[in-house]
Amino acid sequence: MNDTLQLLHDHRSDRAFTGEGVPDAQLDAIVEAAHRAPNFFNGQQISLVVVRDAERRQRISALTGGQAAIAKAPVFITVVIDFHKTALGVQLAGGSQVIHESVEGFAVGAVDAGIAVASLIVAARSLGLGAVPIGGIRKDPQALIDLLELPRLTFPIAGVALGPIAQQAPQKPRLPLSSFRHDEHYRAQGLQDDIRAYDRTLEDYWRALGRPEGKTWSQAALRYTKVYFPETRAATLRQGFTLDK
């Protein structure tokens, strides 16, 4: 196995940051990795807001419900769906942008944001840093929009906290590969058996960490019985994403 595959296979979400800074050259290289990442037909409908200021990171931490990793990490990067930028290009070409009014447009932005998040994490870890993706910035998206001074037709969809770590996080086991890889067609049969097996694996994992109260995957999935970040829709509408096309 080569070094790149090993890095990807060893993924873990690190949250125990030392608080030490990230050298400018390393941060520039990490950002450039996301800048060069694939995106839908070179639309480049993603922007990053890099926050290093400690007070601002503390405010972002509070907006996510108190996720300490954001305040402790020396760098927090917000990944922004950016159809403000594309609208300017459309205007220069003499057109009128409508893609931000569609589900397709928001889906494209979300996919490209996910690619950018992955690129940031892999780049950071390749330099020996830790990183963790943060979806909790959608808990109070309007407050974050105001804090980062985001224009209309943009939306902060995810973030990444990164920096030197005090200790490496344990690698959490995944669902069986058979529940993830489907050859030629989707295999629905046997999925519940895979989930039951994974629940048992997670129980063993939590016990080994001295956390027997840790949730199984099925128990954690109960979050899907409600919309866990209900402010997302209202904030996207205020930002101009009508999603009615």
Per residue in 61-79, pLDDT tens? 999 999 999 999 999 999 9
Residues whose CB falls within 8 Å of the CB of residue 163, separated by 6 or more in sequence, listed in order: 17, 18, 19, 20, 21, 22, 72, 73, 74, 75, 129, 130
What's the pLDDT band for 244 if we cut at 50, 70, 90? Answer: confident
What per-residue confidence (pLDDT) applies to 169?
A: 86
Two tokens at 107? 């889906």
Q: Mean pLDDT, to the nearest integer, of 183-202?
A: 95
* 1 or 157, which is more confident: 157
Give yes or no for residue 1 having a pLDDT over 90. no
What's the pLDDT band for 26 if we cut at 50, 70, 90? Answer: very high
CA distance 76 to 27: 11
What per-residue confidence (pLDDT) applies to 199?
A: 95
CA dihedral sign of residues 202, 207, 208, 214: positive
Among left, alpha and beta (phi > 0; psi -120 to 50; other), residue 65 is left
Query: Within 13 Å, how many C-alpha atoms sit on residue 23's CB side?
Result: 6
Q: Mean pLDDT, to the nearest integer, of 9-27?
A: 94
Q: Contact 69/136 with Cβ under 8 angstroms? A: no
**Cα dist. 198→172, 186, 222, 223, 225 in Å?**
11, 19, 16, 18, 20
What's the pLDDT band for 231 if we cut at 50, 70, 90? Answer: very high
The secondary structure element, H or E, covering residue 77 is strand 75-82
Q: Contact 14/170 with Cβ under 8 angstroms? A: no
Q: Contact 111/40 with Cβ under 8 angstroms? A: yes
Threshold 0.85, pTM exceeds: yes
Give yes or no for residue 81 having a pLDDT over 90. yes
Q: Mean pLDDT, to the nearest integer, of 16-22?
A: 94
Summary mean pLDDT of the chain: 95
Q: Mean pLDDT, to the nearest integer, of 140-153?
A: 97
Q: Mean pLDDT, to the nearest integer, of 10-30?
A: 95
Q: Mean pLDDT, to the nearest integer, of 214-236?
A: 93
